Amino acid sequence: MSEQSVLYDAQGPRARRRTRIGTVVALVVIAALAFLAVRRLIDREQFSMERWGPLIDPGNEAFDAVWRLIGTGIVNTLTAAAVAMVLSIVLGTLIAVARLSLGRPGRIPLIGLVELCRGLPVVVLVYFGVRVLDDVGVDLSGLPGGQVLWGLILALTVYNMVIFAEVVRAGVNSLPRGQREAALATGMTNGQAMRLVLLPQAFRVMLPAIISQLVVVLKDTSLVAFIANYDELLSQGESIQRNLDNPIQTFFVIALIYVAINYTLSKLAEYIQRRQGRAGRSTVQETDDTELVAVRDGA
C-alpha cells in the first residue's frame, strides 16, 4: 500500500474532473481580480515615475535622501533585533538550565514566568517597555540608542527569552541520557556536565530553530512604529511616504527589504540544517566502518 493511499483515497475520474474545473475557475477569478487591480492602479497613475522615481531612479533628486533614510532604518532594525536576540539567548539559556537543574518547587516559578511571557501579545510588551517604563521613571536614555531603543529591546527580550528557554530545554532533553551519565562518570559535576557536554550539543541541534526565531524577532521590531518614534525600517517608510505621497510604492519597497532579509535568514537556517544532516550521516558511516574493521580484526 502506497503512502499516498494511506493518507487519503485516490480521486476517481469524476473527482479529478471537478478538481480541474475548480482549479481553472479559481485561476480565472484570480487573473480577473489581478487585472482589475492593475487597471485601477494604472488609472490612478500609480506606475508613474513621479511616484517610483525617488525609489528606483538614481537621477531623481530625492533618491539619495530616500535611501539614506531606508539605510538608517535597516541598521536600526538589525541593531534592535541583534541585541534582543543575544540577550534572549543568554537569559533563555539561564532559564532553561535552571528548569533542568532545580527540583519541582524551584521550577514552579520559572514555569509561571514562561507561561506568562508566552501568553502576552508582543505589542503589549513593546508598549510596556517603550511607554510604561518611561512613565514610571525608569530612565534608559543614558544608554546608547536612547529610551525607545532599549525599551523595544527589553520587550523583545522578555518575550523571546522564554521561547529560547523552551528551545534549549527541548534540545537538552532530546540528547541521549548516556551523554550526561558519561560526563558524570568522568568526575564532572552536574554543572560541568551541563556547561561542557549538554549545552554545546543542544545548541548545535537547535541552531536552525534559533536562526528561524531571529526572523520573528526582526519582524516584531516593526511594532514600535505604532507606539513611539524610533527610526526603524517601517517608521522610515512612513516618513518617506508622508513626504512624497507615494505609500504604495514606498511600502512595496519596504516589504521587499523585509522579505529579502527574512528569506536570507531562512535559507541560512536550512543550509545549517542540511550541513548538520550530512555531518550526522557521515559520523554514522564512520562509526559503522570502524565497527566493521574491528569485527574483521577480531575475526
Per-residue three-class SS string for 243-292: HHCCHHHHHHHHHHHHHHHHHHHHHHHHHHHHHHHHHHHHHHHHHHHHHH
Same domain assignment for residues 13 and 107: no
Domain enclosing residue 147, as ranges: 72-276
If residue 30 lies in a helix (H) or strand (E), which one and from where to where?
helix 13-43
For residues 76 and 37, state if they share a domain: no
**Do 217 and 265 share a domain, yes or no?**
yes
38 and 82 in a single domain? The answer is no
Percent of residues, the chain, with pLDDT higher than 90: 27
Whether residue 142 has pLDDT greater than 50: yes
- Residue corresponding to grid cell 474532473: 17
pLDDT at 283: 47
- Nearest Cα residue to 217 out of 93, 104, 87: 87
> What's the structural domain count of the chain?
2
Domain identity same for 190 and 124: yes
pLDDT of residue 280: 55
If one compares 143 and 246, the residue with the highest pLDDT of the two is: 246
- Residue-wise pLDDT for 30-57, tens only, equals 999 999 998 988 888 888 888 898 999 8
Residue 62 lies in a domain: no
State residue 202's pLDDT score: 84
Give pLDDT, residue 295.
44
Give Dmax over CA atoms of the chain in angstroms: 85
Average pLDDT in the 145-164 region? 89
Domain-located, residue 287: no
pLDDT for res 205: 80
105 falls within a domain: yes
Predicted confidence band at 160 (pLDDT cuts at 50, 70, 90)?
A: very high
* pLDDT tens per residue across span 74-132: 999 999 999 999 999 999 999 988 888 887 788 788 888 888 888 888 889 888 888 88
Same domain, 39 and 76: no
Most confident of 26-30, 99-103, 209-213: 26-30
Residue 23: band (very low, low, confident or very high) from pLDDT cuts 50, 70, 90: very high
